[in-house]
Amino acid sequence: MKRLEDFIEEHRVEMDGAEPGEGHFERFALKLQQDADRPRSQPGRFYVLKLAAVILVLITVGVIATEFMAGSFMQRIFKTNETSHLTPELKEAIQYYNDQTLDKLGQLEILARTSPEVRKMQATVLRDLNNLDAATNDLQQSLGENPGNERLQAAIIQNQQMKESILNTILQNVTSLKTN
């Protein structure tokens, strides 16, 4: 920058007295007129397309992330329903608690969108629910080997109730934090 200032100072006399060449103003006016007559492109159209593509990518990533987080949980829930050795009453009870769990997971997902702390809780809850589902699957396999065992049936129901209880507690804590 200093070199440019020095150059300007050294050649100030040459630059101050110089006038533009013959016809300069006419050429400049002609270029301005040609530029004004040129049709303008619509940069907004490409901007809107880019914006739409970015929004589509963000939505897709969000859906994939949600499915990834809850996917294994959902697979276990539906895998639980495929067991043929369960009594109709036990299947109905499991389905009831699974429906309750899915409903509460949906509520937790909505709350997790607004708070990083809730998102961390959600990840912990999903891990705990996956552990309970693994235990329930083990109990169901044991029940398949020993059909009619009331203690195993009660343990399966208790695991399902624990899932609902965990989610109820988390939802109550999160909503009470939000209201305070």
CATH number at residue 124: 1.20.120
Inside any domain, residue 146: yes
Q: Are 167 and 108 in contact (CB under 8 A)?
A: yes
The tens digit of pLDDT for each residue in 96-126 reads 998 898 888 888 888 888 888 888 888 888 8
Inside any domain, residue 9: no
Inside any domain, residue 140: yes
User: Which residue in the block uniquely carries the two structure tokens 């996917």?
Assistant: 71
Residue type for position 104: K
Q: In 3D, which of 73, 80, 72, 108 has the Cα closest to residue 96?
A: 80
Reported confidence tier of residue 158, pLDDT bands at 50, 70, 90: very high
Inside any domain, residue 34: no
Inside any domain, residue 173: yes
Inside any domain, residue 28: no
The tens digit of pLDDT for each residue in 162-179 reads 999 988 998 888 888 776
Tally of structural domains, the chain: 1
Separation CA 69–CA 73 (nearest Å): 8
The tens digit of pLDDT for each residue in 21-36 reads 788 888 888 888 887 7
Q: Are 119 and 112 in contact (CB under 8 A)?
A: yes
Separation CA 166–CA 162 (nearest Å): 6
Does position 81 have pLDDT exceeding 50, yes or no? no
Inside any domain, residue 121: yes
Inside any domain, residue 75: yes
Whole domain around residue 159: which residue ranges? 71-179
